[in-house]
Structure formats: structure tokens, C-alpha cells
Amino acid sequence: MRLATLDDGSKDGCLIVVSPDGGSYAPAPVANLQAALEDWDAIAPRLAAINAFPHALDANRLLAPLPRAWQWLDGSVYPSHGALMDKVLGVAPEKPPFPQMYQGVSDTFHAPRADVPMADEALGIDFEGEFGIITKAVPMGTPASEAGAYIALVVQINDWSLRKLAGPEMKTGFGWIQAKPPCGMAPFAITPDELGEYWRNFRPALHLNVQWNGAPFGNAYGEPMAYGFHELVAHAARTRHLVAGTVIGSGTVSNETYREVGSSCIAERRGIEMVDYGAPRTEFMSYGDSVRMEARLPDGSAPFGVLEQKVVKA
């Protein structure tokens, strides 16, 4: 099942069910995705039963599937990216025996074809291609062995970052605020079964193709996560309930073979350049720059649709 949110002038948009080819849709029997998630076990079968899609879909009318959420939690589960980012930020944290995660701004997820306002080019504007999940309500203390059952939807995310602010904020030991503006989200939220055999041990086994200003930038593979999404859900729910509509990200998709497959963010490429040349050579984004991301299955299809955003001056 593939879901999306049409812009109807409201803050949460209008939930629709999208055809398998992504070209048409049917209205959902609930107002918006958050309403569906609040009673997911009852609503999901009604959504899945829709098999006629009478309306042509205009991708330019789509908001993020969940335009605002109660909670956004982002992990960092690709070891190759974490090691390089520590070098870029100039920090040497002790790696804990559990997933790394922070809580970010959740009141806005930018539309998949939005112009994204940024305060200042000099702050090191960067994209970060990620996978993510959206949960049903999760009881506190749910173990990883049971947490996968609470994953309602899988999504694709652009976790925008301001790199010049990230290092100073990290060194305070108190987390990110200014360095992490709102994320973007690809147009379609899908149920895990849509990925079939490419949803393995709660990990997306597909490539995330990234282009910057139309030029190829990365095509990293999503499966080699140090922790699966079931483990991320369990970690987040250890001491609190997770509300329906909690969004959890994987962190930047990265592979050990990043020199061959490329990267999902500029900071990783700069980290590679620091190792190879002693200094970074690639600049961060400027106003007018665009980034395009689409996760692809082996047959070339893009189950989450295309996320293509442009940076503009706030």
C-alpha cells in the first residue's frame, strides 16, 4: 500500500491512496495520515482494500506524507558515515553499546518538491539522504523482538543540516538545535510489504540514488545498518511510550565502499577528501542548488517516488 498527502490548504493535508504505478489516486476514508495512524489496525485494512484510483495524480500538489509529526527521532546506524563525520566534526565520542539517536524538529516536514528556505549560505548547507519509518503507538519497554510489529510505514527522508553549526553544538555535549532545520520527505509512505524481499530484518535493501544539481552524487545501499529499524524503535521506547506518528530515521545512508558508490551527503564526501587529500575540496550548497533523491529497486522503480528540493534564501 502506497499513501500520500495532497495539499488542500490545511496544515495536515488530505490523505490519499496511490495506485501501484504512482500515477493516480483515490481519496482515503480518513482526513489525514495522523488520523489513520491513531487507529492504524482498524484503518489500514480499509485503505488496503481500495483498488480503484479514479483521479490523476499531480506530483506538484503533494505534501510530505506526514507534514508535521508529534516526534522525529534520528539515528546514526551506518558505521562508515559515523566514523567520517566524527573526523569532520573534530570529535571522538565513545561509541555506546546501543543505537545513537537524537530528537529533532518535527513540526515541519518539507514537501517533496518544495523550495527549502535557509538562513545563510555561510552555514554549510547540506542534504542527507536517509530511510525512515513511521510507527503506530508503541508501549514503553517494547523489546526489539516485538518492535517490528509497530512499524506502520516506511519513508525516505532528506535530513537537512547546517554543518558549520553542527561541530560547535556537538562539542557542548547537549545536542543539536540550530544545526538541524526541518527535514524533507519523499512523496509516498509505503507499508513494508511493498518492498517484498527487499525489506530484510527491518532494513531497506535498496539503493538511494542522489543527484546534486543534476549530477550523480551517490548510490549507497540501504541494507548494511548496524541496527535495524525494530532495534531503533525499541531503543526509543525503552523509557517512554511512542505516540502514533513517531518518525524514526536511519541517519545518512553510507557504505564502506563510499569511494565507489558515492555518498548521500556532502559532509561525507568532504570527509573522504580530508583523508585522501588532507583538506576538503567540495563546497556546501548555495542558494539555487537542488538535490534529487530516489530509492530504487533492482527493476528501477522508485517505491517512495522522487524527492527533489531547491535551496532558497529565507
**Domain boundaries defined on the chain:** 1-63, 66-313
Q: Determine the Cα–Cα distance for residues 9 and 14; give it in Å rounded to an integer.
A: 9
49 to 43, 44, 45: CA distances (angstroms):
10, 9, 6
β-bridge partners, 3:
17, 189
- pLDDT of res. 89: 63
Q: Determine the Cα–Cα distance for residues 210 and 207; give it in Å rounded to an integer.
A: 10
pLDDT under 50: residue ranges of the chain: none
Mean pLDDT in the chain? 95
Q: Determine the Cα–Cα distance for residues 18 and 25; give it in Å rounded to an integer.
A: 4
311 to 28, 291, 308: CA distances (angstroms):
32, 9, 10
Q: Determine the Cα–Cα distance for residues 303 and 222; give it in Å rounded to an integer.
A: 14
Question: What DSSP string runs through 4-50?
Answer: EEE--SSSS-EEEEE-TTSSEEEE-SSSSHHHHHHTHHHHHHHHHT-
Question: What DSSP string runs through 45-96?
Answer: HHHHT-----EE--GGGEE-SSSS-SEEEEE---HHHHHHHHHHHT--PPPP
Question: Which three cell numbers, joined as nine digits, stand for 252?
Answer: 545518512
* pLDDT tens digits, one per residue of 143-189: 999 999 999 999 999 999 999 999 898 888 888 899 999 999 999 99
Sign of CA dihedral 79, 80, 82, 86: positive
3-state SS class at 117? strand
Q: CATH says 66-313 is which class?
A: alpha beta
Q: Determine the Cα–Cα distance for residues 56 and 39; give it in Å rounded to an integer.
A: 28
CA-wise closest residue to 192 among 103, 300, 303: 303
- pLDDT of res. 175: 82
Q: Determine the Cα–Cα distance for residues 193 and 207; give it in Å rounded to an integer.
A: 17
- pLDDT of res. 84: 77
